Amino acid sequence: MLEAARPAPESERAPSSVSPGPRSARKRKRGLFRRTGVIPPAIGIAAVLVALVYLASYLTTSNGSGAASMFGAIDGLGHTGSVAALEQERATIIEMDSAAKTLTIDAKPAMANPTSLQQQSTQSEETGGTGITAAAPPADPTAAESDAKSMLASYGWNDTTQWACLYNLWDRESGWNVYAENPYSGAYGIPQSLPASKMAMFGSDYLTNPVTQIKWGLYYIHGTYGTPCGAWQNEVDYGYY
């Protein structure tokens, strides 16, 4: 009688084709970290980061000398021509804005007191003053406008093209009032001279005489802008002339 089949010994069995399960994979991974530890990988990562930082600092400097040169380049940026030009433009804009606020009368200009002006102008002969004693005349914008229009020809200006510009300019600045005074800057008179004493070159009565003020105003426009329309365009663009 045949013997019952017995299972083959362990050593003679064919290797199993079934792949190890997830638990076996985890065991192998844990074995790897047990063998190597976490310090070598951490050192490797740190070395890579240091190399990247050094490379970035090298590429962002002008002479490639490292992080110190990068900081020096950043510090020197404020002294470049482009930054200086931007700073100069900013300062110019601030000055123009300040001038527009102080030299332009947005609303009705403040009017100086003629009696007070007369007292300021009247000085004794002992102090070398003007000796003005006559009462200050009242403001007459219409007469001042007529005088100014008649003086345009003395500078070779065409009253047909230039008069409207001059009228608009001084109407905005002073309302053609001989006593108009800017309360912020102190600019004075029909042309808003700053300071008022500039007009003394055409007469000591510059505080009260519209003709004296107009003469100085036309002289200033001619020397600075060429024509009344040139001055008016500056007034339109920047708020002052």
At residue 114, does pLDDT exceed 80?
Answer: no
Kindly state whether residues 161 and 225 are assigned to the same domain. Answer: yes
Of 14, 45, 68, which closes a domain? Answer: 68
Kindly state whether residues 161 and 228 are assigned to the same domain. Answer: yes
Kindly state whether residues 60 and 147 are assigned to the same domain. Answer: no
Nearest to 172 by CA among 182, 186, 162, 158: 182
Whole domain around residue 64: which residue ranges? 37-68
- All residues at 6 or more sequence positions from 203 whose CB lies less than 8 Å from its CB, including other chains: 209, 211, 212, 215
Q: What's the chain's average pLDDT?
A: 74
Kindly state whether residues 218 and 107 are assigned to the same domain. Answer: yes
Kindly state whether residues 147 and 226 are assigned to the same domain. Answer: yes
- Give pLDDT tens digits for 204-213: 999 999 999 9
- All residues at 6 or more sequence positions from 170 whose CB lies less than 8 Å from its CB, including other chains: 148, 176, 190, 191, 217
127 inside domain: yes
Domain total of the chain = 2
> C-alpha angle with apex 177: 175 to 178, nearest 5 degrees?
145
28 inside domain: no
Kindly state whether residues 161 and 226 are assigned to the same domain. Answer: yes
- All residues at 6 or more sequence positions from 117 whose CB lies less than 8 Å from its CB, including other chains: 136, 179, 207, 208
Mean pLDDT of 127-156: 79
At residue 10, does pLDDT exceed 70?
Answer: no
Asked if 225 and 231 count as a contact pair (C-beta separation under 8 A), the reply is: yes
Of 68, 87, 110, which closes a domain? Answer: 68
According to DSSP H, which parts of the chain are helical? 22-36, 39-59, 67-76, 81-103, 114-121, 141-151, 159-173, 210-224, 228-238
Kindly state whether residues 174 and 217 are assigned to the same domain. Answer: yes
Asked if 160 and 187 count as a contact pair (C-beta separation under 8 A), the reply is: no
Kindly state whether residues 216 and 162 are assigned to the same domain. Answer: yes
Asked if 211 and 185 count as a contact pair (C-beta separation under 8 A), the reply is: no
Kindly state whether residues 133 and 47 are assigned to the same domain. Answer: no
88 inside domain: no
- Give pLDDT tens digits for 94-112: 766 655 554 444 445 666 5
Mean pLDDT of 158-171: 96
Kindly state whether residues 58 and 144 are assigned to the same domain. Answer: no
Q: Please tell me the predicted confidence (pLDDT) of residue 174.
A: 97
12 inside domain: no
Predicted TM-score of the model (pTM): 0.50
178 inside domain: yes
Both tokens of 240, joined, read 């002052």
Kindly state whether residues 160 and 46 are assigned to the same domain. Answer: no
227 inside domain: yes
